[in-house]
Amino acid sequence: MIDVNIEKRLKGYSGAGTLKVKHKFAAGSVTTIHGPSGAGKTTFLKIVAGLVQADAGMITANNVTWLDTGNKINLSSQARRVGFVFQDYALFPNMSVMQHMQFATTDKPWIDKLLHLGKLETLTIHKPHQLSGGQQQRLAIIRALAIKPQIILMDEPFSALDKAMKAELMDDLGSIFSALCATVLIVSHNPDELVSIVNEELYIAGV
């Protein structure tokens, strides 16, 4: 479960506005977050992950206070242990596929399972620049799952995948989310394509 009530002043091209989100994400739910471009969806995920500081508010996740600005509590992003799939993948240019996975976990059977999920078993010595856009995106997804996170934040995670690959991956991801009992937030411009795994929706209206 994630209980969020935050405010953050945004610096936009057309002046400034305020991102306000007050929402309870149920334990084990998969929520799609949508809204107009520039509304603050990416910024919201980064605030939950502890990568961007909210101006005011609180975040509680699985009964642990991550943020409480009134009481000066602000857990580091490492302590929050979220799985984050960044819009630009944020892969390490000098690390191979396998090194990305081993950097996150020592659990070999889990690495093998995730490599199979991402269809990257035969590409383990490849570095990001030797992978296609879709392969890079699948690496970003399985790397995020490597720590077996209970909170998973995904920013447009399927944008580089074709329809067939998306459908196949979606089925497997649904099972993994359930097995991890994870609470999952997915920012998507195409929430319709996620219907098979998503059971909640949050609209961020913009400023």
Ligand X SMILES: Nc1ncnc2c1ncn2[C@@H]1O[C@H](COP(=O)(O)OP(=O)(O)OP(=O)(O)O)[C@@H](O)[C@H]1O
Whole-angstrom CA distances from 29 to 89, 117, 174 are 23, 21, 11
Q: Which is nearer to ligand X, 12 or 133 (CB)?
A: 12
Output 15 or 93, the one with its CB closest to ligand X: 15
**What is d(CA 188, CA 156) in angstroms, rounded to the nearest whole number?**
5
Q: How far is the CB of 40 from ligand X (least distance, A)?
A: 4
38 binds ligand X (CB under 6 A): yes
Alpha-carbon gap, residue 70 to 57, rounded angstroms: 7
Query: How far does CA 198 lie from the centroid of its chain?
Result: 14
Q: Is 42 in the site for ligand X (CB under 6 A)?
A: yes
Q: 52 vs 75, which CB is nearer to ligand X?
A: 52
Cα–Cα distance measured from residue 126 to residue 188, given in angstroms and rounded to the nearest whole number:
28
Residue 28 or residue 38: which is nearer to ligand X going by CB? 38
* 52 part of the interface to ligand X, by CB under 6 A: yes
Note whether 133 binds ligand X by CB under 6 A. Answer: no
**Alpha carbons 2 and 4: distance in angstroms, whole number:** 6
If binding is defined by CB under 6 A, does position 158 make contact with ligand X? no
Residue 98 or residue 202: which is nearer to ligand X going by CB? Answer: 202
Residue 129 binds ligand X, judged by CB under 6 A = no
Q: Contacting ligand X (CB under 6 A), which of 2, 21, 30, 40?
A: 40
Buried/exposed 119-144: b ≥16 CB within 10 Å, e otherwise: ebeebeebbbeebeebbbbbbbbbbb
Which residues on adjacent β-strands are paired with residue 181?
none
Among 1, 10, 165, 170, binds ligand X (CB under 6 A): 10
Residues in touch with ligand X (CB under 6 A): 10-12, 37-43, 52
